[in-house]
């Protein structure tokens, strides 16, 4: 009972914190206006675990399903994003994988997009795990690498060095080109796509960090 109450409380407070903080932040997107199209652009959106706070705000109520680990820490995240209007699919490609993929396929058929953090839930930081490749193969959805640049932020002492944007800072959400993963790949070919997405996401993150600091100068 106490654990459920703790999850419930964190969910409410976390959602309100994100909403209030985001109201003070100037948020841009690149390409301009693409964030509004995520509701109708069915894809697997991937962004780093440490940068999930801004997407949690801009992606609210846009028919997006989020894949969250069955790890106990994942319950805190699930409670927060449920209150921001996201759908939650629990599992990964290692724990609850088959059920998670089936649930995602069902939601995709209903017209939902999907979002995952490819280096979560435990890292290594900025290293893409094979899961997003596997999901793209099974769902036949393209992967859209996504990242966020923050002009000023606090960095937490967690495995992912989680970033919390400071009030009145700027955030740039950058979307990459869709990457279509063929359904039948050898291990070597799948590794090629994994490294490709990792490279693109890291390069995009570096670029977004530079560009966001140039906004309004």
Taking only the tens place, the pLDDT of each residue in 114-142 is 999 999 788 899 999 998 898 898 888 89
- Summarize pLDDT for 29-43 with one digit per residue, the tens: 999 999 888 877 889
Q: Report percent pLDDT > 70 for the chain.
A: 95
DSSP characters over 38-82: TTTS-SEEE--GGG-HHHHHHTTTSSEEEEE-SSHHHHHHHHHHH
Predicted pLDDT at 125: 96
User: Which 3 state secondary structure label does DSSP give 175?
Assistant: strand
Predicted pLDDT at 39: 72
The token duo for 94 is 């290692």
Number of Cβ within 10 Å of residue 107's Cβ equals 18
- Summarize pLDDT for 149-203 with one digit per residue, the tens: 999 999 999 999 999 999 999 999 999 999 999 999 999 999 999 999 999 999 9
Q: Which domains does the chain have, with CATH numbers?
A: 2-212 (3.40.1130)
The token duo for 83 is 């209150």
What does the alpha-carbon distance between residue 39 and residue 211 come to, in Å, rounded to a whole number? Answer: 25
Predicted pLDDT at 162: 95
Give yes or no for residue 67 having a pLDDT over 90. no
- Summarize pLDDT for 6-18 with one digit per residue, the tens: 888 889 999 999 9
């Amino acid at each position: 009972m106490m654990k459920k109450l703790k999850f419930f409380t964190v969910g409410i407070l976390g959602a309100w914190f994100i909403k209030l903080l985001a109201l003070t932040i100037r948020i841009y997107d690149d390409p301009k206006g693409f964030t509004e199209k995520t509701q109708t652009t069915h894809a697997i959106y991937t962004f780093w675990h440490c940068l999930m706070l801004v997407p949690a705000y801009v992606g609210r109520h846009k028919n997006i399903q989020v894949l969250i680990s069955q790890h106990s820490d994942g319950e805190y995240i699930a409670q927060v994003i449920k209150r921001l209007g996201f759908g939650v699919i629990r599992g990964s490609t290692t724990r609850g994988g088959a059920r998670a993929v089936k649930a995602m396929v069902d939601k995709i058929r209903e017209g939902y997009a999907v979002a995952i953090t490819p280096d979560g839930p435990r890292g290594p930081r900025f290293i893409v795990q094979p899961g997003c490749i596997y999901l793209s193969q099974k769902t036949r959805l393209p992967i859209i690498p996504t990242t966020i640049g923050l002009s000023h932020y606090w960095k937490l002492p967690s495995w992912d060095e989680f970033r919390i944007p400071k009030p009145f800072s700027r955030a740039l959400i950058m979307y990459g080109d869709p990457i279509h993963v063929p359904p039948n790949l050898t291990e070597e070919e799948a590794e090629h796509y994994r490294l490709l997405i990792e490279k693109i996401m890291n390069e995009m993150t570096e670029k977004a960090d530079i560009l966001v600091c140039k906004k309004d100068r």
